């Protein structure tokens, strides 16, 4: 009886121990699974992450040049925009709107029209040259609208391509120094005139030697005009020497500009910046 009871107890103990052992094994397996999941999760996460990084690295070089292609920000304008009408600056940096047109136009000479406010001064200047000094000045151009300026510019580009064999880009670059780019011409402003000697009707540097130019160079400021594109100032005006192009700025500014051999740009920077 006792033997039976003993063997029963020991079997129970063995069973209990076996149960305990299998429980421990289960916990161990669970732990291993848990650790494996962690490791796998970590590896997957790392792989996906590095792939994303690679994708980003791939995108970056493509988008970088696009950023550098954006135009460099132009420095702030130094000349105020609310200048009196007669001092309005028009050049490559300060273009006119395509739609800009002088409020009132009037005939000035030789069938040409300009801003009405300068018609009297122009007529008097031409009349005085003739009556006082027997110098005959005639106008070859005055107000030109945007479309006409565009036509002149495009014609110049075509001529440069044909005559000098330039590419379109090169022809356009050179044309800009000779014919004002549409929107950047003072002729659109209505305050500029091309004046030549009636005995030498040519729009080139030879105009400099005419009686008309010599008279105008001496007297134009008395009527409010300046030589707008003087010799040796191309780096400031962006336009070649034009001893036929006169710009109305009013007597006060014109006298100062002509006496000091300045350009309108230089005058405005001296007088109109804080």
Two tokens, residue 229: 């594109």
Q: Applying CB under 5 A, does 142 fall inside the site for Zn ion?
A: no
Measured from the CB atom, is 117 or 245 closer to Zn ion? 245
Measured from the CB atom, is 161 or 177 closer to Zn ion? 177
The answer to whether the CB of 141 falls within 8 A of the CB of 217 is no
242 is catalytic: yes
**182/98 Cα distance (integer angstroms):** 8
**81/59 Cα distance (integer angstroms):** 43
Q: Applying CB under 5 A, does 145 fall inside the site for Zn ion?
A: no
The answer to whether the CB of 102 falls within 8 A of the CB of 143 is yes
Binding mask 193-232 toward Zn ion (x if CB under 5 A, else -) reads -x--------------------------------------
Q: Taking contact as CB under 5 A, which single stretch among the options 11-19, 34-42, 108-116, 191-199 is the one that binds Zn ion? A: 191-199
Q: Applying CB under 5 A, does 247 fall inside the site for Zn ion?
A: no
Q: Applying CB under 5 A, does 233 fall inside the site for Zn ion?
A: no
For 36-67, give one letter per residue: b (16+ CB within 10 A) or e: eeeeeeeeeeeeeeeeeeeeeeeeeeeeeeee
**261/186 Cα distance (integer angstroms):** 20
Measured from the CB atom, is 115 or 194 closer to Zn ion? 194
Residue for token digits 């696009």?
66
The answer to whether the CB of 201 falls within 8 A of the CB of 139 is no
CA quadruple 136, 195, 249, 106: dihedral sign: positive
Q: Which of 2, 242, 259, 266 is catalytic?
A: 242
Q: Which residue has its beta carbon closest to Zn ion? A: 245
Question: ∠ at Cα 241 (236, 244), nearest 5°?
Answer: 125
Q: Taking contact as CB under 5 A, which single stretch among the options 17-25, 53-61, 148-156, 240-248 is the one that binds Zn ion? A: 240-248
Measured from the CB atom, is 19 or 174 closer to Zn ion? 174
In the set 144, 221, 233, 245, which binds Zn ion (CB under 5 A)?
A: 245
Q: Taking contact as CB under 5 A, which single stretch among the options 8-16, 39-47, 215-223, 242-250 is the one that binds Zn ion? A: 242-250
| Distance of closest approach, residue 264 Cβ to Zn ion, in angstroms | 14
Q: Taking contact as CB under 5 A, which single stretch among the options 45-53, 144-152, 164-172, 190-198 is the one that binds Zn ion? A: 190-198
Q: Which residues bind Zn ion (CB under 5 A)?
A: 194, 245
Q: What are the residue numbers of the active site?
A: 242
């Amino acid at each position: 009886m006792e033997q039976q009871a003993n063997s029963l107890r020991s079997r129970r103990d063995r069973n209990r121990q076996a149960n305990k052992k299998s429980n421990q094994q289960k916990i161990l397996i669970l732990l291993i699974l848990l650790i494996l999941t962690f490791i796998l999760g970590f590896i997957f996460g790392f792989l996906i992450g590095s792939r994303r990084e690679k994708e980003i690295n791939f995108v970056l070089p493509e988008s970088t040049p696009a950023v550098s292609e954006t135009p460099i920000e132009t420095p702030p304008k130094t000349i105020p925009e609310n200048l009196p009408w007669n001092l309005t600056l028009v050049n490559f940096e300060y273009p006119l709107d395509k739609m800009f047109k002088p409020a009132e136009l009037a005939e000035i000479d030789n069938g040409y029209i300009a801003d009405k406010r300068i018609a009297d001064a122009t007529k008097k200047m031409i009349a005085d040259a003739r009556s006082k000094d027997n110098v005959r000045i005639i106008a070859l151009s005055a107000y030109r609208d945007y479309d006409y300026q565009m036509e002149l510019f495009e014609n110049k580009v075509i001529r440069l391509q044909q005559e000098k064999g330039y590419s379109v880009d090169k022809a356009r670059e050179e044309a800009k120094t000779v014919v004002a780019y549409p929107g950047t011409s003072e002729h659109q402003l209505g305050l500029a005139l091309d004046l030549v000697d009636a005995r030498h009707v040519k729009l080139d540097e030879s105009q400099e030697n005419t009686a008309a130019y010599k008279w105008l160079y001496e007297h134009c400021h008395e009527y409010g005009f300046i030589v707008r594109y003087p010799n040796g100032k191309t780096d400031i005006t962006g336009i070649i020497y034009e001893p036929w192009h006169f710009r109305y700025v009013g007597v006060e500014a014109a006298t100062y500009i002509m006496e000091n051999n300045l350009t309108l740009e230089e005058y405005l920077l001296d007088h109109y910046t804080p």
